[in-house]
Structure 1
């Protein structure tokens, strides 16, 4: 979908607002690890790749900050299975 995803460090989320609807990925920062806990896309925007955009942007940002991730969100797990180039970010 190539949406504009914004990072709100204050709210510990990545989000995109489209047509008055907000999609988001929430994380919890635990030192050098981001626990990716929830991804949400409203039904009006589903099926357009927005969740993938949110996860990809989050993972790219984590990589740039030398963070590791815990994929607690089921969608993030699915994304990682489909995009193994990000598996190096998973905290051991």
Structure 2
């Protein structure tokens, strides 16, 4: 299986994973040098496949490369910041 393509839609402040007719999404907001990941969504039909984890790891890696201070008001993302 090929790795799913994750798109960074910077204008909408989100990362998107395209699925068969659906999207998994990781939303964030940036305030000066801080980034807050506040929402993760995977359509019910695609849950349990590790897609949210792929999105979160991708988003966090990007944020670290931009040297943002990381925050998460999304409880799922918080698990990755511990």
TM-score > 0.5 by shorter chain: yes
Which segments of 5 or more consecutive residues in structure 2 lack a partner in the other structure?
A: none
Deviations 1:24-49 (A, max 9, x none): 01101111111111000000110000
For each residue in 1:37-91, what CA deviation from the matched residue of structure 2 results, as whole angstroms up to 9, or x when unmatched? 100000011000000011000010011111111111010012334xxxxxxxxxx
CA distance in 1, matches of 2:54, 2:48: 12
> What is the DSSP-based 3-state SS (H/G/I as helix, E as strand, rest coil) of the residue aligned with 2:11?
coil
CA distance in 2, matches of 1:80, 1:37: 13
Q: SS of the counterpart of 1:48?
A: coil
TM-score in terms of structure 1 length: 0.82
Aligned to 1:29: 30
TM norm structure 2: 0.91
Higher strand share: 2
| Runs ≥4 residues deviating over 6 A | none
Is the partner of 1:51 in helix, strand or coil? Answer: helix
Using the alignment, how far apart are the partners of 1:79 and 1:46 within structure 2? 18
Alignment size in residue pairs: 81
Aligned-CA RMSD value: 1.3
Q: Which runs of 5+ in 1 are unaligned?
A: 82-92
